[in-house]
Amino acid sequence: MNDFRVLKLLDRVQWIFKGLGADYAVMRRILQVKLTMDGRRTPTIFTGTQDAKADKEGSPLRVQWFYLLLGLILIALVAPREHHILMMSLLFSIVMFMITTTLISDFSSVMLDLRDKNILFSKPVDRRTLNMAKSLHILIYLLTITLTFTGPSLVFSLFRHGPGFFFIYAAEILLMDGFILVFTAMVYLLILRFFDGEKLKDIINYVQIILSLGVTVGSQVVTRLFNISELGLNFTPAWWHYLVPPIWFGAPFELLVSGTQERNVIILAALSLVVPVVLFAAYIRLMPLFERSLQKLAEQGAAGKDSGRLPRLLSEAVCRDRVEAMFFRFTWSMMKNEREFKLRVYPTIGFSLIFPFIFMFNQVWSGDLAGIRSSKSFLFIYYCALLMMTVVQMVRYSSSYKGAWIYQVIPLQGTGMVHRGMLKAIVIKLLLPLFALEAAVFILLLGRWIIADLAAVLLALLLYAVICLFTFPRALPFSEKYEAAQRKDYTASAFLQLFILAGLAGIHYVFTLIPAGIYIYLVILAAANVWIWHQAFQPGGLRKGRLETPRFRG
């Protein structure tokens, strides 16, 4: 195993961990194994684009080039010599968004993993040492990603503003990472105290959506905390500004670099130090409680059996073929019970829910509801279809992929009905509830006059669902292991789907310029849906080609 450089750095401060009661030699060996094993995990940000044969140790280093390129945009926020609280708050809102979503998507499973306990507690390893190793493992990952992302702007700040600014920036990065890690762990601990077993696992999925939404909305709120006037950029504090972490981490620059001595700035700057330190101290004390609570994840729970009545009734209502109805119910059940699928897809539901409204945020924030009602901003609801891109791609994978041998023994006459039942289950279970919720909000904001337009959007999204299915390589549902995504690059398909979605929104806009055009568009979309939902799933379908099927050895 590699002797990673970060371990050599930890050797210099090993007295800290010994003072906290950890066995440093054992902790170092556990960390070394964890960092080595990281090389076998594909970061979520690269799912579908990694070469499975690439042998690169140290997973965090594999994404450095990507974050390094993204980090170049932060230089623009560091460059100005004034308005530091504004610029650095915007910078930290972007960084916190990236790091939090990365932690949620890639490392929640590590934070909640029980397997190392089952292995190591049979050895002379105490709980404090193991818990410290797990926390350091995640913190090392976060720091690697954060320093790569902020590296260009950090180096630029040294030459632009001097050593003082540079060291404040570096310190705030460390405090921010500690805050993100501990806050996420504390949220999970709070849930662990009140729920158990399978119910808890579902709630954790929902918490990941909420955290993602919170960070996304928070990054938008930060930019609205500053008033742009003829005199420049002014920060007008309010009590709830103290609840927005990016402002905390931007305040020390205004205090120490700009020399602003206002009481609000001092308090905000103090929060950037006090809150992470207090949370970290609380986390150290509550770590044994957190680990004990994790045992609930091993419980199966007694939530009662699912009768499957709803999917059975829906399959009878929307499916005309027996095989189609069977795979409707199968897909519905797998999407409900496949935890890895939910972990990868549900955060996308959160982003699809909030994106249509982000573009309206400026007008809503300023109270210009009259301007919104007279606009065609309802077209932003097309963004909710971003969900379909992820779901259709991920529905082919399963942690129980070995059960796909059943496809080879059941008498299937083609796979058209399989895919149609699968796609109907996806649309009814995931897309339609999301669309209904967003449509209700749009009607509330814009008025009932957009109902016909929303009906057209719904028909367009049903059309788009079929297009998404046939622009990806076809595969039987839940028949491949998730690691297989490493060998496939869906970038071209994703860009094609985005282009088609934008085209549908553009065509819709053109029809709104024609008197009674929306009703003409409704008729066209209805006819197109009838044709494509029938034709696409016939033998040969819309596109001929080899179906990707799993192979099994006897």
State the SS3 of 169-203. HHHHHHHHHHHHHHHHHHHHHHHHCCCCHHHHHHH
Burial of 347 (0-12, 13-18, 19+ CB in 10 A): buried
Q: What is the mean pLDDT of residues 254-274?
A: 87
The answer to whether the beta carbons of residues 198 and 301 sit under 8 Å apart is yes
What pLDDT does 232 receive? 45
Percentage, residues of the chain above pLDDT 70: 74
CA distance 99 to 96: 5
CA distance 469 to 466: 5
Which residues touch 78 (CB under 8 Å, ≥6 apart)? 87, 88, 91, 153, 156, 157, 160, 161, 169
What pLDDT does 540 receive? 58
What pLDDT does 45 receive? 44
Q: Which helix (H) or strand (E) holds 361?
A: helix 361-366
The amino acid sitting at 116 is D
Higher per-residue confidence, 465 vs 378: 465
What pLDDT does 306 receive? 55
What pLDDT does 61 receive? 46
The rounded mean pLDDT for the chain is 78
What pLDDT does 14 receive? 85
Q: What is the mean pLDDT of residues 466-471?
A: 88
What pLDDT does 228 receive? 45
Query: Would you say residue 413 has pLDDT above 90?
Result: no
CA distance 301 to 342: 19
Cα distances (angstroms) measured from residue 332 to each of 142, 340, 465: 35, 15, 16
Residue closest to 104 by CA, chosen among 188, 192, 200, 35: 188
Q: What CA dihedral angle connects 257, 260, 265 and 270, to 10 degrees?
A: 50
The answer to whether the beta carbons of residues 284 and 20 sit under 8 Å apart is yes
Higher per-residue confidence, 483 vs 468: 468
Higher per-residue confidence, 352 vs 272: 272
Query: Given the structure tokens 């929640």, which residue do they identify?
Result: 108
Q: What is the mean pLDDT of residues 152-181?
A: 91
Token digits for 534?
């029938």
What pLDDT does 508 receive? 92
DSSP 474: P
Sign of the C-alpha dihedral computed for residues 434, 437, 440 and 445 taken in this order: negative
DSSP 46: G
Q: What is the mean pLDDT of residues 383-393?
A: 86
Instruction: State the number of CA atoms in the 13 A half-sphere of 338 facing the CB.
Output: 26
CA distance 398 to 469: 17
Query: Would you say residue 487 has pLDDT above 60?
Result: no
DSSP 51: -
Identify the band that residue 552 occupies on the pLDDT scale cut at 50, 70 and 90: very low
Residue closest to 91 by CA, chosen among 104, 115, 74: 74
What pLDDT does 172 receive? 92
Cα distances (angstroms) measured from residue 41 to each of 30, 271, 400: 17, 36, 18
DSSP 13: T
Residue closest to 389 by CA, chosen among 70, 50, 47: 47
Orientation angle between helical segments 127-161 and 5-12, nearest 10 degrees = 100
Query: Would you say residue 485 has pLDDT above 70?
Result: no
- Least confident stretch, 59-63, 250-254, 337-341: 59-63
Query: Would you say residue 15 has pLDDT above 70?
Result: yes
CA distance 277 to 361: 34
pTM: 0.63
Query: Would you say residue 24 has pLDDT above 90?
Result: no
What pLDDT does 299 receive? 61
Identify the band that residue 27 occupies on the pLDDT scale cut at 50, 70 and 90: confident
Query: Would you say residue 304 has pLDDT above 50?
Result: no
CA distance 128 to 30: 13
Neighbours of 367 (CB within 10 A): 9
Highest mean pLDDT pick, 202-216, 376-390, 497-511: 497-511
DSSP 233: E
Q: What is the mean pLDDT of residues 262-277?
A: 90
Query: Would you say residue 224 has pLDDT above 70?
Result: no
Residue closest to 85 by CA, chosen among 222, 180, 210, 177: 222
Higher per-residue confidence, 301 vs 473: 473
What pLDDT does 526 receive? 94
The answer to whether the beta carbons of residues 390 and 352 sit under 8 Å apart is no
The amino acid sitting at 149 is F
Cα distances (angstroms) measured from residue 374 to each of 158, 353, 369, 371: 48, 23, 9, 5
Sign of the C-alpha dihedral computed for residues 524, 528, 529 and 531 taken in this order: positive
Q: What is the mean pLDDT of residues 20-25?
A: 82
Q: What is the mean pLDDT of residues 519-537?
A: 91
* 38-89 confidence digits (pLDDT tens): 665 544 444 444 444 444 433 444 556 767 877 888 888 888 887 788 888 8
> Alpha helices, DSSP H only, in 395-516?
416-426, 432-446, 451-471, 491-512
What pLDDT does 57 receive? 39
Percentage, residues of the chain above pLDDT 90: 17
Identify the band that residue 135 occupies on the pLDDT scale cut at 50, 70 and 90: confident
Which residues touch 170 (CB under 8 Å, ≥6 apart)? 154
What pLDDT does 230 receive? 39
* 199-219 confidence digits (pLDDT tens): 666 666 676 666 666 666 665
Query: Would you say residue 229 has pLDDT above 50?
Result: no
Query: Would you say residue 173 has pLDDT above 50?
Result: yes
The amino acid sitting at 2 is N
Q: What is the mean pLDDT of residues 422-451?
A: 89
